[in-house]
Amino acid sequence: MGALTGKIAIITGAASGIGRASALRFAKEGAKVVLGDWSDSVHEVAKEIGDAATAMQIDAGKEDDVAAIVKLALDTHGRIDVAFANAGISGGMEGIFDNTVENFTEVLRVNLIGPWLMVKHAGKAMADSGNGGSIILTASVAGIRSGAGGPPYSASKAGVINLTKVSAQQMSETNVRVNAICPGLTETGMTKPTFDYAKEKDVMHKVGRLNPLRRGAQPEELSNVALFLASDEASYVNGQAIAVDGGLSSSHPVTRQLTGQTAV
């Protein structure tokens, strides 16, 4: 028996990165997965999984599309047990003065309105079923404090963290849990240019060097946390934003003090 045997899970942003890793892991643990992504590569991921997967191309920030993938899950499987709103965009690293209203709006639409739409539609289906469920939202360490993303991205992810807490409270007594994962630097489609450059220049040892583990993460390491939150093992975890960042967010910027040495 897998950790998710018999469960039905929706995963957005499932064509690559954390979403793809989670789709493969959830299916391996016994779930039937309904996968959404704007890229047609989502169908390749479903094909890789096999009969346990169904895929749909969606815009995760568009209400009709989110409602459609929720309906697909309900029509196909009769219920939803897990909804992982993972889709997101970076929006670039332009500063406060250089950003545009159009860019800011688009990032908020996908990264913040998108997760809210999943809470609205999948959460309602879970609440109405009377069986509860688990909603997982992808936030970021950029939503915890400055330094990990551009202004619109950081603002959107801070909003996801607060949305998680508000949603958990407003769904009291439904047995629907809402939690967020806050990844640090992870090798995904969004961060591919950074990792590709480091590999090309043979400086991978510098990637993630600001966190205590001194490395970036692989998508599978984030999918492990998503799996836990989706499973019954996390039955008393609710309204939390869990940083999975190698320890990056555990400290304010300081001169590093190593064991047995004095900071200078």
- Buried b / exposed e across 187-218, counting CB within 10 Å, b at 16+? bbbbbeeebeebeeeeeeeebbebbeeebbbe
* Residue 49: CA count within 13 A, CB half-sphere: 28
Whether residue 244 contacts residue 182, with contact meaning beta carbons closer than 8 Å, is answered with: yes
- Containing 84, the helix (H) or strand (E) segment is strand 82-85
pLDDT, position 83: 99
- pTM beyond cutoff 0.85: yes
Asked if residue 10 has pLDDT above 90, the reply is yes
Q: Which residues pair with 35 in a beta bridge?
A: 11, 55
pLDDT, position 187: 72
CB neighbours of 151 closer than 8 A, spacing ≥ 6?
A: 94, 95, 96, 99, 104
CATH architecture of 8-187+218-246: 3-Layer(aba) Sandwich (3.40)
| CA-based nearest residue to 39, from 16, 62, 61, 18 | 16
Active site residue 153: yes
pLDDT, position 186: 81
Residue 169 sits at the vertex; the CA angle it makes with 229 and 76, to the nearest 5 degrees, is 50
Average pLDDT on 151-169 reads 98
Q: Which two tokens stand for residue 187?
A: 């090798």
Mean pLDDT of the chain: 92
pLDDT in tens, 89-142: 999 889 999 999 999 999 999 999 999 999 999 999 999 999 999 999 999 999
Annotated catalytic residue within 153, 190, 216, 243: 153
Compute the distance between CA of residue 84 and CA of residue 27 in angstroms, rounded to an integer. 14
Asked if residue 264 has pLDDT above 50, the reply is no
Cβ of 172: how many Cβ atoms within 10 Å? 10
Q: Which two tokens stand for residue 45?
A: 């991921």
Whether residue 81 contacts residue 8, with contact meaning beta carbons closer than 8 Å, is answered with: yes
Domain parsing of the chain, residue ranges: 8-187+218-246
Three-class SS of residue 56?
Answer: strand
φ/ψ (deg, to 5) at 138: -90, 110
pLDDT in tens, 29-87: 999 999 999 999 999 999 999 999 999 999 999 999 999 999 999 999 999 999 999 99
Compute the distance between CA of residue 78 and CA of residue 27 in angstroms, rounded to an integer. 18
pLDDT in tens, 169-223: 999 999 999 999 999 988 766 665 665 655 666 655 666 678 888 888 999 999 9
